[in-house]
């Protein structure tokens, strides 16, 4: 362990979560060490002129009292003292700039690293994690909590080092001039720190309440904008306005109570400083009168030393609360970073996937709700075949799709791809070889082109491939009629697509990947039957060698499949080909008859 690391490990005694950041501090230890050096130089240069101010005052006093003395010496001395008094602070200022440049810049770099580490971890976590945590919490961890930790890494560490170095330097100077007076000056300062700490704490509590209310207002506003159609059609504007006023009233009251405590802050500091000065004046004046101090310059020096200590002591109170907040924030970050990604790649070697899928007695329970979605499911489809899955909502169809993409791992039974356990297949290769069109077509706020090419590398993406895929998904003609064609931006500030258009773009996104396995989860539900027919025909033509799973409510989508399974309450209740199933008096047949008549 290097000396630097030994110093770092000291904070383990006081703090539990922040030492996690030691690895980062070590990474930028050059910047921190040089920053400490600048702090020291800055403080030395602040201290140097003070005795000269004292000397200059004594010199002037002397010259006034003894006009008969040599004027030349006087001017020479004043010029020398004056230069020191002017130039030392200038250089001190330069070092102060460099101190911030090194330490604050290092803290920004760590913030960058930390944000990336957290985001990378987010991406590795399974869907179940996102079901359990609120999006708002996840966002605040990567923005606000990281921000709090950065306050510790930058100003927190910087001001602490500053405090130590200036206290040591100033106290040493003061004691060497007059120990007793030093004591009087130093007594009120820790009280200043304590008060500032208590005020900062109250400010934090109140500012948190303000922040919470602000968040509540934002989500209220967001909700009312997104739902504006519903609000208008139900004619509930008045009520919404009233609710909004209530929320903003709360915000106003909290902000006022925050302003009250803030207003306390500076008068408090001035009061304590006033007391310190009063002490110096009283004690120093008395000593001068009694002849215990023989020049006024000493008293002037004490005034200046005190003023040097006030800011660092004020900041201590603030820094303590910064560290407390950072500790709490870092604890939340650490807890989250320790969350296991659960779904892990157990096979670093590439896996070649052909597309035969077999479920053997698979049961699966969602652990967040305890709902058993699948109960002893078994089926097999060979590569290149088409499987259709039918069943009521909630019967477990989507769950099967998510298990094949390994969004979850199963608790009993086994899933095999090409005869190999799914957990032993390279996870990236598995997901890369599946073109999954989820039930809820999600499109990013980006151009149509980028949405479709999402699964390909930029180098693989050509206009030809895109058009080819959109033609198969029967959406090309719609897109070229948009003003910006394939460059049309979707989402909030762009074009709003109909449900069926979204589904077809989502299908094109899967088709362009030319995967080994397709999964269409109810992907044609919002498409009219005529277009559905066309898309299905295109799919049959282009998926000859591709395993295809079609999850649907429509017999028309299922009837050409090689194999059909009907699910109910997590179990397979019927299975076979269209012909076999329509010759039985079951769920499939009744659905068939019902849909035939419409």
Ligand X SMILES: Nc1ncnc2c1ncn2[C@@H]1O[C@H](COP(=O)(O)OP(=O)(O)O)[C@@H](O)[C@H]1O
Q: Please state the φ and ψ torsions of residue 140, each to the nearest 5 degrees.
A: -70, -25
Site string for ligand X, 361-380 (x = CB under 6 A): -----x-xx-x-x-------
Which one of the spans 240-248, 343-351, 393-401, 467-475 is the region binding ligand X (CB under 6 A)?
A: 393-401
**Least spacing, CB of residue 524 vs Mg ion, in Å:** 13
Tell me whether residue 347 or residue 525 sits nearer to ligand X (CB atom).
525
Sheet holding 372-381, edge to edge: 372-381, 357-365, 412-417, 420-421
Task: Name which of ligand X, Mg ion, none residue 395 binds, using a CB cut-off of 5 to 8 Å depending on partner kind.
Answer: ligand X
Please check whether residue 503 is in contact with residue 523, taking contact to mean a CB–CB distance below 8 angstroms.
Answer: yes
Axis crossing angle, helix 179-186 with helix 296-337, rounded to the nearest 10? 40
**Least spacing, CB of residue 402 vs Mg ion, in Å:** 9
**Least spacing, CB of residue 513 vs Mg ion, in Å:** 22
Handedness of CA 491, 493, 499, 503 (dihedral sign): negative
Contacts of 66 by beta carbon, 8 Å cutoff, 6+ apart: none
**Least spacing, CB of residue 335 vs ligand X, in Å:** 22
Per CB under 6 A, contacts with ligand X among 116-155 are: 131
* Among 19, 297, 317, 396, contact with ligand X (rule: CB under 6 A): 396
Per CB under 6 A, contacts with ligand X among 55-74 are: none
Angle at 332 between CA 409 and CA 108, to 5 degrees: 115
| SS3 label, residue 343 | coil
**Least spacing, CB of residue 438 vs ligand X, in Å:** 11
509 binds ligand X (CB under 6 A): no
Tell me whether residue 399 or residue 582 sits nearer to ligand X (CB atom).
399
Q: Work out the burial of residue 6: count CB atoms within 10 Å of its CB; fewer than 13 is exposed, 13-18 middle, 19 or more buried.
A: exposed
Tell me whether residue 397 or residue 502 sits nearer to Mg ion (CB atom).
397
Task: Name which of ligand X, Mg ion, none residue 369 binds, using a CB cut-off of 5 to 8 Å depending on partner kind.
Answer: ligand X
* Among 394, 494, 576, 586, contact with ligand X (rule: CB under 6 A): 394
Tell me whether residue 165 or residue 548 sits nearer to Mg ion (CB atom).
548
Task: Name which of ligand X, Mg ion, none residue 399 binds, using a CB cut-off of 5 to 8 Å depending on partner kind.
Answer: ligand X
Tell me whether residue 338 or residue 393 sits nearer to Mg ion (CB atom).
393
Q: How many residues bind ligand X (CB under 6 A)?
A: 14
Handedness of CA 338, 341, 346, 348 (dihedral sign): negative
DSSP string, 25-48: HHHTHHHHHHHHHHHHHHHHHHHT
Angle at 42 between CA 39 and CA 46, to 5 degrees: 135
398 binds ligand X (CB under 6 A): yes
Q: Work out the burial of residue 46: count CB atoms within 10 Å of its CB; fewer than 13 is exposed, 13-18 middle, 19 or more buried.
A: buried
Task: Name which of Mg ion, ligand X, none residue 458 binds, using a CB cut-off of 5 to 8 Å depending on partner kind.
Answer: none
523 binds ligand X (CB under 6 A): no
Q: In whole angstroms, what is the distance from residue 479 CA to residue 2 CA?
A: 63
Tell me whether residue 198 or residue 371 sits nearer to Mg ion (CB atom).
371
Instruction: Kindly give the pairing relationship between strand 412-417 and strand 420-421.
Output: antiparallel
Task: Name which of Mg ion, ligand X, none residue 356 binds, using a CB cut-off of 5 to 8 Å depending on partner kind.
Answer: none
How far from 225 is each of 228, 342, 543, CA to CA, in Å?
5, 37, 43
Axis crossing angle, helix 179-186 with helix 237-290, rounded to the nearest 10? 160
397 binds ligand X (CB under 6 A): yes
**Least spacing, CB of residue 570 vs ligand X, in Å:** 7
* Among 391, 435, 453, 500, contact with ligand X (rule: CB under 6 A): 391
Two tokens, residue 304: 């200046």
260 binds ligand X (CB under 6 A): no
Tell me whether residue 368 or residue 537 sits nearer to ligand X (CB atom).
368
* Footprint on this chain of Mg ion (rule: CB under 5 A): 397-398, 439
554 binds ligand X (CB under 6 A): no
Task: Measure CA of the first residue to CA of the last residue in the chain; give whole Å.
Answer: 78
393 binds ligand X (CB under 6 A): yes
**Least spacing, CB of residue 393 vs ligand X, in Å:** 4
Instruction: Name the site residues for ligand X (rule: CB under 6 A).
Output: 131, 366, 368-369, 371, 373, 391, 393-399
């Amino acid at each position: 362990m290097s000396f630097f690391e030994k110093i770092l490990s000291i904070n383990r005694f006081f703090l539990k979560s922040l030492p996690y950041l030691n690895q980062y501090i070590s990474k930028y230890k050059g910047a921190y060490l040089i920053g400490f050096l600048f702090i020291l130089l800055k403080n030395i240069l602040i201290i140097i002129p003070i005795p000269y101010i004292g000397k200059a005052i004594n010199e002037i006093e002397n010259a006034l009292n003894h006009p008969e003395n040599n004027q030349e010496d006087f001017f020479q001395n004043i010029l020398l003292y004056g230069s020191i008094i002017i130039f030392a602070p200038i250089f001190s200022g330069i070092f102060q700039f460099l101190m911030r440049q090194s330490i604050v810049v290092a803290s920004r770099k760590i913030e960058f690293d930390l944000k990336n580490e957290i985001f990378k971890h987010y991406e590795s976590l399974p869907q179940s994690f996102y079901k359990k945590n609120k999006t708002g919490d996840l966002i605040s961890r990567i923005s606000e909590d990281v921000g709090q930790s950065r306050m510790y890494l930058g100003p927190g560490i910087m001001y602490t080092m500053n405090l130590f170095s200036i206290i040591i330097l100033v106290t040493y100077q003061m004691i060497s001039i007059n120990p007793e007076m030093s004591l009087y000056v130093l007594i009120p300062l820790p009280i200043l720190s304590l008060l500032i700490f208590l005020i900062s704490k109250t400010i934090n509590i109140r500012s948190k309440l303000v922040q919470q209310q602000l968040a509540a207002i934002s989500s209220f506003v967001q909700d009312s904008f997104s739902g504006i159609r519903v609000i208008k059609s139900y004619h509930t504007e008045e009520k919404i306005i009233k609710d909004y006023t209530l929320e903003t009233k709360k915000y106003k009251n909290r902000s006022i109570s925050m302003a009250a405590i803030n207003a306390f802050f500076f008068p408090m500091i001035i009061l304590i400083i006033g007391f310190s000065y009063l002490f110096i004046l009283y004690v120093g004046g008395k000593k001068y009168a009694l002849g215990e101090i023989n020049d006024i310059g000493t008293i002037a020096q004490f005034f200046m030393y005190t003023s040097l200590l006030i800011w660092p002591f004020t900041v201590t109170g603030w820094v303590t609360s910064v560290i407390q907040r950072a500790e709490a924030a870092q604890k939340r970050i650490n807890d989250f970073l320790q969350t296991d990604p659960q779904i892990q790649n157990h096979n670093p070697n590439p896996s070649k996937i052909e597309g035969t899928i077999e479920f053997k007695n698979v049961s699966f329970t969602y652990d967040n709700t305890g709902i058993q979605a699948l109960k002893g499911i078994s089926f097999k489809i060979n590569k290149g075949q088409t499987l259709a899955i039918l069943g009521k909502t909630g019967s477990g169809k989507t769950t099967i799709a998510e298990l094949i993409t390994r969004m979850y791992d199963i608790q009993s039974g086994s899933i095999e791809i090409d005869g190999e356990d799914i957990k032993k297949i390279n996870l990236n290769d598995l997901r890369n070889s599946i073109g999954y069109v989820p039930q809820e077509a999600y499109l990013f706020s980006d151009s149509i082109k980028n949405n479709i090419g999402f699964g390909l590398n930029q180098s693989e993406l050509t206009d030809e491939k895109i058009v080819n895929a959109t033609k198969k998904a029967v959406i090309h003609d719609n897109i070229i009629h948009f003003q910006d064609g394939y460059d049309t931006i979707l989402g909030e500030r762009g074009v709003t697509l109909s449900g069926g258009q979204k589904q077809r773009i989502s299908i094109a996104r899967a088709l362009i990947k030319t995967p080994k396995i397709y999964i269409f989860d109810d992907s044609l539900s919002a498409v009219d039957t005529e277009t559905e027919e066309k898309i299905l025909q295109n799919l049959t033509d282009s998926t000859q060698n591709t395993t295809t799973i079609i999850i649907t409510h429509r017999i028309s989508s299922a009837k050409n499949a090689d194999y059909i399974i009907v699910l109910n309450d997590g179990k397979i209740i019927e299975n076979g080909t269209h012909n076999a199933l329509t010759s039985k008096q079951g769920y499939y047949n009744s659905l068939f008859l019902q849909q035939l008549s419409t």
